[in-house]
Every structure is written in C-alpha cells, then in structure tokens.
Amino acid sequence: MIPNRGRSFHAVRPEAQCYIDLVNKGHDVTIMTCATNAYLEEYQKAGLKIIMLASLKKHSPGSD
C-alpha cells in the first residue's frame, strides 16, 4: 500500500491505524512511503514492512 504521506500525525492517523491493526491481527502489510511520513516511527514499531521512497510524486510512463 502507499499510504497518505501527510506530515501531520493526526491527519494520517485513521488510515495508518488501520494498517497497524491489520498487522496486529496477523496480516502481512507492506507499505511504500518516504521519510516525511508522520507515522513512520509507529509503522516501524508495529512491524510493518516498509519500502522507503525518495519521493511519492505521481509518475506517468512516457512523460519523462
């Protein structure tokens, strides 16, 4: 999943907590996010698999 990368802890909390709850129930969850994600530390504590990205800008094939 690619979660909201909001920098405000409270703005991303509902979505982030859903992912954490899935892991707590035994599901494997992998997210792709960047270091500016306000919930990054919580994701790490919960044991989510994290793929770090330099940027989460939208990319379109052939537009480079």
In a domain, residue 57? The reply is no
Residue 52 CA to residue 13 CA, distance in Å, equals 19
Q: How many domains does the chain have?
A: 1
In a domain, residue 17? The reply is yes
- pLDDT of residue 64 exceeding 60: no
Question: What domain range is 32 assigned to?
Answer: 9-52
Given a contact cutoff of 8 angstroms between Cβ atoms, the answer to whether 13 and 39 are in contact is yes
Query: In which element (H, E) is residue 17 found?
Result: helix 9-24
Given a contact cutoff of 8 angstroms between Cβ atoms, the answer to whether 2 and 56 are in contact is yes
In a domain, residue 59? The reply is no
In a domain, residue 4? The reply is no
Residue 21: both structure tokens together: 């709850």
Q: What is the pTM of this model?
A: 0.75
| pLDDT tens-digit series, residues 6-62 | 667 777 788 899 999 999 999 999 999 888 888 999 999 999 999 998 765 666 676
